[in-house]
Amino acid sequence: IGTARLIRACPLNPRQWGFISASGCSENLKLLQLLVKCTKQEHRDLGVVFVDIAKAFGTVCHQHIIAGLIQSGVDSHMVHLVSEMYRNTTTFTK
């Protein structure tokens, strides 16, 4: 229920594959292969940029996440639930 409400308020880009249950990696690789193939057939230049944002979610200040939810129009009950998930949380490494 929470995921459905958040997705309605904060829709994901169709190319976004993180945090969803889908085999996005293979679909994105097929898309890249098709793009390369078409580019070669048409003798065109192609530039590709890969951005690795691994663990990016963990580096965002929790207050910014909450502010983004509010700004996106997420209902106050959902904002409260997300806020509670972050209350008194800590991270440590060995």
**Count H helices, E strands: the chain?**
4, 0
Q: How far apart are CA 27 and CA 43, in angstroms?
A: 24
Based on the number of CB atoms within 10 Å of its own CB, is 9 exposed (0-12), middle (13-18) or buried (19 or more)?
middle
Average pLDDT for 44-64? 76
Residues 1-23: pLDDT tens digits? 777 777 777 776 766 666 566 56
Q: How far apart are CA 14 and CA 50, in angstroms?
A: 17
Residues 30-53: pLDDT tens digits? 888 999 999 999 999 998 877 666
Q: How far apart are CA 77 and CA 21, in angstroms?
A: 24
